[in-house]
Amino acid sequence: MSEPPRPPGDYGMPQDPNSGYLPPSSGGGAYGTPPTSGAGYEQPGYQQPGYQQPGGYQQPGYQQPGYQQPGYQQPGAYGQPGAPAGYANSDEKTWALIAHFGGIIVGFIAPLVALLAKGNESPTVKAHANEALNFQITWGIAMIVAVIVSICSFGILFFLPFLVWIVIIVFGILGGMKANNGELYHYPMTIRLIK
């Protein structure tokens, strides 16, 4: 069995009504465009009422102004856009970190500066600076006592100031790490002089 001869101009292309090419001899328009009318050619669902082209679909409420996905907290939900968690803006976080980490280097001066600079503007910075200031004052007094004791013992207890300094470093770093996460750190072994 052989295939019947094809009309001229067909060039051996199949006449599949679902393909994008129809030879001019099969009723298609110029250059194989689909016919404007003809039974059996239209694809099911194509340009039917209620049919939406791909790419135009949008989920209900998705990316609408003011829409928030359930369980998702947008960045800066506590204050300005892009603010760190627990702070109204990044400036508050910077001052809280200065209060905690600066105390390791310069003692009570760093939290005092943070308290005086931003304490009246931000209750968050004020809380961090108060905690760090109370800790630095308490352990500053402990450092003075340790130095006096080491001198009075003629150097036998020379290690006491180093122990106090290690306590200041360890708890200052812990306070700074908690402040970096947006949490207020309550220092242990601290006399609360400033509230």
User: For residues 123 and 145, is the Cβ–Cβ distance under 8 A?
Assistant: no
pLDDT tens track for 53-97: 555 555 555 555 554 544 444 444 444 555 566 777 888 889 999
Cα-Cα end-to-end distance for the chain: 103
User: For residues 131 and 187, is the Cβ–Cβ distance under 8 A?
Assistant: yes
Average confidence (pLDDT) over 99-104:
92
CA distance 137 to 99: 13
Residue 121 C-alpha from the chain's centroid: 25
Q: What percent of the chain has pLDDT over 70?
A: 56
Q: Which residues have a Cβ under 8 Å from the Cβ of 34 and sit 6 or more positions away?
A: 22, 28, 41
